[in-house]
Each structure stands twice: as structure tokens, then as C-alpha cells.
Amino acid sequence: MEQTQGRSKLIESAEEFVRLRFSDDPEEYGRASSEPASLEVWTEIVERYPETRFWVAHNKTVPLEILRVLATDPDPRVRWMVAAKRKLTPEILAQLAADPDESVRLSVARHKKTPRSVLEELLSDDWSEVREMARDRIRNSL
């Protein structure tokens, strides 16, 4: 479905997203990272094509409902990509701050929207890099 006057196209099916993402054409795989889809289409992609979940999380328009699902994905790369999203809620950030993967926790510590209370919890993280980042973020917010 082509939209007019500079508005973006819409990804209309799970199959279209997969085709776009794995296309050799840079314009097509760029669409997979920037164009919206309905909640139903995102849900179908996540359920039917688990190998694309990282790329779903990478999409600039993916809704919070899908990011909540992907925040519990078994693949730490997917959770890491979710943790880097600007639109995250404090609840999702708090959930990801307890992630078993240190790269996910470090991404939460770096995130501009991470609440101070979550940063304070990260001060006792197992990984020194996470603790240091949380300390720096708290110090710089004063």
C-alpha cells in the first residue's frame, strides 16, 4: 500500500517484512527498519519468524506492545536491541535491568530514560562496567 506525499509505506504482512529484511536491495531492507506495520502484522512476524525478532526490535516504528514481548526473548541480542530503543517505558527498563545478559544491563545503564531508582539498583550489578556506567549516569544527573 503506497502512501502519498512523503508519508511512509506500510508493511502489510509478515511475509513482506521477511522479504524486505532479507532483500539484497538496500532500499528494501531499509524499509524493514523504518516502515510501520499493524500490531497484528508485528505479532505474526514475532510468532512465525523468530529469526527476524532482532530486526523487528530494530524497526523504528515497532510498538511498545511488541517491545514488551521481545524484552523476554530467549536471544540476548534481541533483548539488547530492545534495551537500546528510545521509546521504552520505565517498567520495561526495570525488567531489562535484571536481565541475565550483561550487555543488556549495560544498555539499560546507558539508556537516557532509565529511572534513577533502576540506576541505583545497577550500582550493585555483578559486572563492573554496568556499575560504573550507572554511577556515572547518577553523578551526571545531579
The answer to whether 112 and 136 are in contact (CB under 8 A) is: no
Amino acid at 35: E
What pLDDT score does 97 carry? 98
Mind listing the pLDDT tens digit for each residue in 49-98?
Answer: 999 999 999 999 999 999 999 999 999 999 999 999 999 999 999 999 99
What pLDDT score does 2 carry? 43
Q: What are phi and psi of 8, to 5 degrees?
A: -75, 160
The answer to whether 58 and 70 are in contact (CB under 8 A) is: no
Mind listing the pLDDT tens digit for each residue in 17-61?
Answer: 999 999 999 999 999 999 999 999 999 999 999 999 999 999 999
Question: Would the pLDDT of 16 be above 60?
Answer: yes
What pLDDT score does 6 carry? 47
| Beta bridge partners of residue 37, listed in sequence order | 11
Domain ranges of the chain: 1-70, 89-142
